[in-house]
Structure 1
Amino acid sequence: MDFNDPTWKGPFPKTGSSSEKSCSRKITGRCAMFLVDDILFFPAKSLVWVFRELHNAVQQEKTNESDALTTELSELYMMLETGKITEEEFDEREEQILDRLDEIQERDQ
């Protein structure tokens, strides 16, 4: 089937043919059917979209929380190096941060 062939009529008759009205009715019927489908499925598609957006927001929040804890851990190491906190304070806060990071990683799996 060659679409460039001038003898090929295509899936729809050429303009001006006697069956033009029936063809336009078919197209209109198809369009109306798609419109009806869109209207009927709109609530379901909307719910899917809402849940997808919620999922994306939760994933972003997890990533942000993990990044914040990693930054806090880096700052904690820096405070220990500069002598602003003691070894005991460092160990206590490090354990809390690492436990929280472990919880986040377990939720992701």
Structure 2
Amino acid sequence: MSKVFIIDNILFAPFKGLWWLAREIYNRAQQELFDEETIQKQLAALQVAYELGNLPRDEFEQQEAMLLDRLRQARAARTLQSPGEEED
């Protein structure tokens, strides 16, 4: 019986590795996408670009709204993950 499990492990190892890799990429992308510090830096860079005249007002407002929405989502996710901790 144990030989069957060994063969199964050998046959499915590439798929398990690929699944692990896909899951890691997804988790890292989510972490980067909803990292509050990164979003705040992007908001600051956006503000500077707008103030220097490198960005039209409508584009600034559109990108700012998107970043603020991501920031709200990141804070909500953080609150759900650690309800006992207070927010800064």
TM-score w.r.t. structure 2 length? 0.50
Between structures 1 and 2, the one with greater helix share: 2
Query: Which structure has more RCO (C-alpha within 8 Å, separation ≥ 6)?
Result: 2
TM-score (norm 1): 0.42
Higher CA-based Rg? 1
